[in-house]
Amino acid sequence: MVRDLKILLIISGCLLCVKLSANDSARVTRVKDGDTYVLRKGNTDFTVRLKNVDAPESKQQFGFLSTVYVSKLISGKVVKYDSTGKDFYGRVLADIWVNNQRLDSILIRNGWAWQYLQYSNDSILKNCMLLALQEKKGLWECGAFSVCPPSLWRGYNLKYRNKYCNGCK
């Protein structure tokens, strides 16, 4: 009996993974920050981390504005996604499309996220980021060195955040 229940749970888990791996769609129920969202498929909610980008943290300069920008784009909408696994925190890693456009390129092109170079070498995203920098869009309004990337911001203690991550002066 217990063995049968374990097998059933394993099979159910595998079916869920297969279902999330296909090009699928779900409704956005919450935008946690610029690159993390809660999606609902049927009666199941799951947290998704947008691949290829790193948006400012909520408490970081431009974090709130990045979140607001994404919220206006996707909150309450049905989006398409392709899952590529899970991250260290258990979030589904995914590419997301809204109105047949890649969400990562929209965010980067409008200056509300960085291309996550540690995990992405996509030349389209690189060009989007260069254009946003040149046009001083979003978080680039004061130039390339006005805002520190979230990966550095997360690693700095308060002393270094105040010294290196103060944004426009």
Domain count for the chain, please give it: 1
Mean pLDDT of the chain: 84
**Residues recognised as catalytic:** 49, 57, 91
Cα 165 to Cα 155: distance, rounded to the nearest angstrom:
12
Query: Is residue 6 in a domain?
Result: no
pLDDT 10s digits, 67-78: 999 999 999 999
Query: Is residue 3 in a domain?
Result: no
CA 58 to chain centroid, in Å, comes to 12
Cα 117 to Cα 86: distance, rounded to the nearest angstrom:
18
Q: DSSP label at 99?
A: T
What residues make up the domain containing 35?
A: 23-164
pLDDT at res. 15: 36
Query: Is residue 5 in a domain?
Result: no
Nearest 10 degrees: Cα torsion 123, 129, 135, 136: -170
Query: Is residue 91 in a domain?
Result: yes
pLDDT 10s digits, 93-138: 999 999 999 999 999 999 999 998 777 888 999 999 999 999 999 9
Amino acid at 68: V
**Residue of 148, 142, 145 whose CA lies nearest to 168:** 142
Cα 141 to Cα 134: distance, rounded to the nearest angstrom:
10
DSSP E strands, 100-156: 101-102, 114-115
Query: Is residue 8 in a domain?
Result: no
pTM here? 0.80
- The answer to whether residue 12 scores a pLDDT higher than 50 is no
User: Which CATH number fits the domain that encloses residue 147?
Assistant: 2.40.50.90
Query: Is residue 28 in a domain?
Result: yes
Instruction: State the CB neighbour count (10 A cutoff) for residue 169.
Output: 5
Query: Is residue 9 in a domain?
Result: no
Query: Is residue 10 in a domain?
Result: no
**Residue of 15, 9, 16 whose CA lies nearest to 92:** 16
pLDDT at res. 156: 73
Cβ contact 93:83 at 8 Å? yes
Cα 138 to Cα 90: distance, rounded to the nearest angstrom:
29
pLDDT at res. 130: 94
